């Protein structure tokens, strides 16, 4: 099988490439290398590397010209800085995906298409009120966050809510620019599948961490930001009260989910998660403990970002049934390894 991996020199894409090569696949990598000063040393021998922007129609057409399957990982990730990033996110994620799909359409591609999505498409996760049952809280207000009221209340009665695991049937509710572009990536890909009959799978990653994460950038995940702080001798700064609940899933598990998805014709959206929820403060504490006895303790700052959500925890059941996917790296072992794993500068 010959597979095109867009963004295959990046964090998740690079690990997907590793596993595909180990399984004997031929791999074409299309990557702008904008995050690299030179082709990364971790790319395995035998990879057909094409250095080009995903919006370069000719380069994309050539890269996709003879492949059997496509694994679309290329994207601008993270919350970014502020709305000044909006045009860059839309150009990289929406337009980049559109250029890829047009190239596939023009060659009448009906092979397997797997696209990287994210749990951010859900917005807030799933909540239950003791009186009103399952409810969807609205965005948290700056006034509440300034006052340290971080938990979203029941929209009907204002009572405290309990979080539940969110499954793939939950309605999308993107609450920042990145989330909106990832949802649009899914929607464009599924339109392509309906028009062509190609099987399309969107993998909704939860909080991915592991070796080769980008170092010290606002576009990286929180695990990388904390790890970068520790490497610089600083304490991780935990926003809000640290009680935000997430699902941290190791990058090797995420890569394996992609390889499994490429090997089946199952279509639809799937959560890719560990099934082991933890708070942000628990993650920061585990990382500090594993970093060494002289590491500083996390500092809970009370700061916040309006684009953030409080709790979003996945149900991994559908991916287990559709792909046979279950995470293999537990939280404790994963954080212990990540504390000393190399980051990408």
Q: Tally Cβ neighbours within 10 Å of residue 90.
A: 16
Residue with tokens 């966050």: 145
> Hey, what CATH topology would domain 2-125+166-340 get?
Rossmann fold (3.40.50)
pTM score: 0.94
Q: Tally Cβ neighbours within 10 Å of residue 335.
A: 26
Q: Residue 144: what pLDDT? A: 94
Query: What are the 10-residue block averages of pLDDT along the chain, 345 residues in total?
Result: 96 97 97 81 92 97 97 86 86 97 98 96 93 92 95 95 95 91 98 98 96 76 91 95 97 98 96 97 97 95 90 95 97 96 84
Burial of residue 320 (CB within 10 Å: 0-12, 13-18, 19+) is middle
Q: Residue 78: what pLDDT? A: 73
Q: Residue 40: what pLDDT? A: 83
Q: Tally Cβ neighbours within 10 Å of residue 65.
A: 13
Residues of the chain with CATH 3.40.50.720: 2-125+166-340
Q: Residue 62: what pLDDT? A: 97
- DSSP 8-state symbol, 95: I
Q: Residue 205: what pLDDT? A: 97
Helix (H) or strand (E) holding 248: strand 245-250
Q: Residue 214: what pLDDT? A: 85
Q: Residue 273: what pLDDT? A: 97
Which tokens sit at 113?
């298409």
If we measure between CA atoms, which residue out of 324, 273, 329, 320 comes closest to residue 125? 273
Q: How far apart are the first and last CA of the chain?
A: 32
């Amino acid at each position: 099988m010959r597979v095109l991996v867009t963004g295959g020199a990046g964090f998740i894409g690079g690990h997907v490439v590793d596993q595909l090569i180990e399984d004997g696949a031929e791999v074409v990598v299309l990557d702008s290398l904008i995050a690299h000063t030179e082709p990364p040393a971790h790319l395995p021998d035998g990879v057909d590397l094409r250095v080009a922007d995903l919006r370069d129609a000719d380069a994309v057409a050539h890269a996709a010209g003879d492949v059997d399957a496509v694994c679309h990982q290329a994207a601008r990730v993270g919350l970014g800085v502020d709305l000044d990033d909006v045009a860059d996110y839309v150009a990289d994620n929406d337009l980049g995906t559109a250029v890829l799909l047009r190239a596939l359409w023009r060659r009448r591609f009906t092979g397997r298409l797997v696209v990287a999505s994210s749990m951010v498409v859900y917005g807030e996760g799933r909540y239950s009120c003791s009186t009103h049952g399952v409810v969807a809280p609205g965005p948290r207000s700056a006034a509440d966050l300034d006052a340290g009221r971080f938990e979203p209340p029941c929209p009907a009665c204002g009572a405290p809510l309990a979080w539940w695991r969110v499954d793939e049937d939950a309605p999308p509710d993107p609450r920042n620019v990145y989330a909106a572009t990832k949802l649009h990536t899914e929607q464009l890909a599924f339109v392509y599948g309906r028009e062509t009959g190609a099987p399309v799978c969107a993998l909704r990653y939860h909080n991915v961490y592991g070796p080769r994460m980008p170092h010290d950038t606002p576009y990286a995940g929180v695990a990388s930001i904390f790890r970068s702080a520790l490497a610089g001798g600083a304490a991780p700064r935990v926003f809000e009260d640290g009680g935000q609940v997430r699902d941290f899933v190791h990058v090797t598990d995420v890569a394996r989910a992609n390889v499994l998805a490429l090997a089946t014709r199952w279509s639809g959206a799937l959560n890719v998660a560990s099934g082991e929820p933890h708070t942000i403060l628990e993650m920061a504490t585990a990382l500090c403990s594993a970093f060494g006895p002289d590491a500083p303790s996390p500092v809970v700052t009370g700061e916040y970002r309006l684009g953030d959500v409080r709790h979003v925890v996945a149900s991994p059941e559908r991916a287990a049934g559709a792909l046979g996917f279950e995470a293999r790296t537990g939280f404790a072992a994963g954080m212990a390894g990540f504390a000393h794993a190399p980051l990408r500068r």
